[in-house]
């Protein structure tokens, strides 16, 4: 079995010849950045560098899967949040929030062409071309709850789950389309599967 066959068989609870190993989260570290020549923060907006760093999961660590999504702010940035992309040793962070009211939620027609989102799709296409059958590709699309936390503010979101649950529910309903659109685009770009985190981050 190829690493891809093994991992996808394990996911579907079919027989495998040995234990499948992969990760649905980022495994990038400083040593991999040095070895691949692709590093934070540049990889966040560059599909080629993103693919090169992500491939280290297979070429360096020996995993049967590659997951080229290194942060949880790609969609938030593409939807108007100001993002600090960090540096070589830190993760990106949202600095401003786009929306105060669910009525403001709009999915731009060019969402998939905006740099943080396009970089993920470009990386998946490059990786699929490089590893057509050997390695499983795992995408990542933020669930509506994580998107609401990023776009409305974590503290505000959590407070409103108690003080105004209908307001929160409206955000979740309107953000479902973003998750579906980005997830479907990743599958079309070559992902075999994708993770969709939905738990709000800690304050």
Q: Which residues contact 151 (CB under 8 A, 6 or more apart)?
A: 76, 79, 80, 81, 97, 98, 99, 105, 171, 175
pLDDT of residue 196: 74
CATH of span 3-195: 3.20.20.210
In the structure encoding, which two tokens stand for residue 201, read together?
């981050």
Beta bridge partners of 193: 138
Domain positions in the chain are: 3-195
CA–CA dist 35, 32 (Å, integer): 5
State the CB neighbour count (10 A cutoff) for residue 192: 18
Q: How far is CA 146 from the centre of its chain?
A: 11
Q: Decide if 67 contacts 5 (C-beta within 8 A).
A: no
At 194 the pLDDT is: 83
Would you give per-residue pLDDT tens digits along the chain (203 residues)? 999 999 999 999 999 999 999 998 889 999 999 999 999 999 999 999 999 999 999 999 999 999 999 999 999 999 999 999 999 999 999 999 999 999 999 999 999 999 999 999 999 999 999 999 999 999 999 999 999 999 999 999 999 999 999 999 999 999 999 999 999 999 999 999 988 765 444 33
pLDDT of residue 29: 94
What is the per-residue pLDDT for 197? 66
Q: Write the DSSP assignment of 44-111 as a string of letters.
A: GG-HHHHHHHHTHHHHTT--SEE-----S-HHHHHTT--EE---TTS--EE-S-S-SSGGG----TTG
C-alpha distances (whole Å) from 133 to each of 3, 4, 6 are 9, 7, 11
| The pLDDT value given to residue 203 | 35
Predicted pLDDT of residue 26: 84
């Amino acid at each position: 079995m190829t690493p891809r066959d093994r991992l996808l068989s394990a996911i579907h609870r079919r027989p495998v010849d040995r234990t499948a190993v992969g990760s649905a989260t980022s495994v990038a570290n400083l040593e991999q950045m040095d070895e691949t020549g692709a590093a934070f923060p540049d990889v966040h907006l560059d599909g080629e560098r993103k693919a090169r760093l992500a491939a280290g999961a297979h070429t360096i660590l020996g995993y049967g899967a590659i997951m080229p999504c290194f942060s949880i702010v790609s969609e938030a940035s593409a939807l108007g949040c100001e993002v600090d992309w960090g540096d070589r040793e830190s993760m990106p962070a949202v600095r401003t929030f786009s929306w105060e009211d669910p009525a403001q939620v709009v999915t731009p027609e060019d969402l998939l062409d905006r740099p943080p989102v396009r970089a993920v799709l470009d990386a998946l296409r490059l990786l699929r071309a490089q590893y057509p059958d050997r390695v499983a590709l795992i995408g990542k699309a933020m669930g509506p709850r994580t998107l609401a936390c990023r776009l409305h503010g974590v503290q505000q979101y959590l407070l409103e789950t108690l003080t105004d649950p209908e307001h929160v529910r409206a955000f979740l309903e309107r953000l479902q389309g973003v998750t579906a659109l980005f997830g479907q685009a990743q599958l079309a770009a070559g992902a075999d599967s994708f993770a969709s985190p939905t738990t709000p981050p800690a304050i």
